Structure 1
């Protein structure tokens, strides 16, 4: 059975091969393999870097503690300093009445006038070098002889330098330089209620001038006597009588603030003085140009007020009405009764004060343009040559 033996050996060979394959393909339980201990992986050698320069960091600053915002404090405005008035100016102190009279008396003169029919008395005040005395025009205008008596008893002859009837001022000169010039004040600064003193030779009583005291009762008064108008007057209740005319009205510092000139005989304590600012200006003009006279229109005036204009149904509210035209005056033949003067040379004339102020600055002989209202013709314009005041 050689053939079967051969197949048996062949099967055995195949079987062995299969086992070998199975042994190779099946997991075999082998004893654990002992692995060597892991060695650290060597690091690559680093390229040496240059040592950096250390950066010095600034020190942390000490923290600043900001205080909480406070409520703003508003300072009050600086108060306006209060200036307390000095009781009296250092240079011109207030004087008692007795001291005032004593200081001013050497500048006050007595004026005696002989006219063609009578004699008259007035007062004057020394206002300039060379024996210049200021007084009223009505005191000396008719004088044939003028005697000026000084406080020391001297009696000198006076010479008229100039007359101005627009404000009743005259300048007389005496031949002496040894006179005390009176201090002049500022009549524009005078206040109603201010104490005043009047000095003059009232009624020509012997024994020196008469002194009276009062207050400033009113300012900017005007008085009209026919065609004569006096304006810019200071009203006072200091006694002013015949003989006081031309004398000084003084303030409490002994300064002349007015020239006493008139009184209302029917009233009690109503006297008037020309403001010294105007009087002095006119006096200086008379000295410089004794032949120049203020202009004159020649009417008896009446102030037209809005109330009066309404009552008379006038188309103008203000002006100077004509109550009478002086015969032979510049107005004669130009103006009529009841006309209302509106303008002179384009200057508004709302009242007699404005009229007199215009005439003071426009001398006699000057031709002016006059604008006026006449009921029968309306507004009219004419030329008028100013004349000299009579007397």
Structure 2
């Protein structure tokens, strides 16, 4: 997620109010603040809109997932600065641009940044909960070709041994329809829903096995890679 936590000794620091990045919608006002190009005279302020949400962006550090896209100008030097809404609440942390494009910048959602910061402060690293599955998105074409019982959801194609999914009795071919009552359109929904949970937490799933819906409970474990 490209987030670090820095401890500063002292008091009477000013801080901004956090917004809720989960409620953002394209078209909302977005204001970017940062030290663009290191120019003297103080921070630069640019304004635009939320162009898109939940963008996945390839980078040198891997794939940056669930990013906010904005057309507010973000230039070298803006990284780490806040992206704020029209009420002055921080909704993201400016992070990346596409060098050859115009009006396309990205910010880490503030809800993600807060979760990562809390993990770093508590554990010294980010711990991700884990299902232990490899899956693919289902669409009507895939469902028709393989005669699947649903044309949406996340199809499990592989399960790691001794993983939470394995211990809960999930099987390759199962289709994840819901987690905690929330509809899953595909694997991206599954990943983001799981990442918002805590290691050791029990979650409920609704799966489709052939033509039979099954409700079950699964205990999340820490991702061995985290």
Counterpart for residue 290 of structure 1: 122
CA–CA distance in 2 between the matches of 1:327 and 1:263? 40
Highest RCO, 1 vs 2 (Cα 8 Å, sep ≥ 6): 2
Count of aligned residue pairs for this structure pair: 218
CA–CA distance in 1 between the matches of 2:206 and 2:55? 23
Q: TM-score, normalised by structure 1?
A: 0.41
Q: RMSD of the TM alignment (CA)?
A: 4.8
Structure 2, gaps ≥5 residues long: none
Counterpart for residue 106 of structure 2: 272
Counterpart for residue 34 of structure 2: 200
Relative to 1, partners in 2 of residues 1:370 and 1:191: Cα closer, same or farther, differing over 3 Å? closer
Q: TM-score, normalised by structure 2?
A: 0.62
Counterpart for residue 388 of structure 1: 223
Relative to 1, partners in 2 of residues 1:335 and 1:264: Cα closer, same or farther, differing over 3 Å? farther
Q: Which has the larger radius of gyration?
A: 1
Conserved in 2, the CA contact under 8 Å of 1:200 and 1:244? yes
Conserved in 1, the CA contact under 8 Å of 2:202 and 2:217? no
Structure 1, gaps ≥5 residues long: 1-136, 141-170
Higher strand share: 2
Shift of 1:181: 0.8
CA–CA distance in 2 between the matches of 1:301 and 1:201? 42
* SS of equivalent residue, structure 2 residue 222: coil
Match of 1:342 among 164, 177, 186: 177
Relative to 1, partners in 2 of residues 1:182 and 1:385: Cα closer, same or farther, differing over 3 Å? closer
Conserved in 2, the CA contact under 8 Å of 1:244 and 1:261? yes
Counterpart for residue 223 of structure 1: 56
Relative to 1, partners in 2 of residues 1:384 and 1:255: Cα closer, same or farther, differing over 3 Å? closer
CA–CA distance in 2 between the matches of 1:321 and 1:327? 18
Relative to 1, partners in 2 of residues 1:368 and 1:195: Cα closer, same or farther, differing over 3 Å? closer
Q: Deviations over 1:102-157 (max 9, x none)?
A: xxxxxxxxxxxxxxxxxxxxxxxxxxxxxxxxxxx4243xxxxxxxxxxxxxxxxx
Give yes or no for the alignment of 1:138 onto 2:2: yes
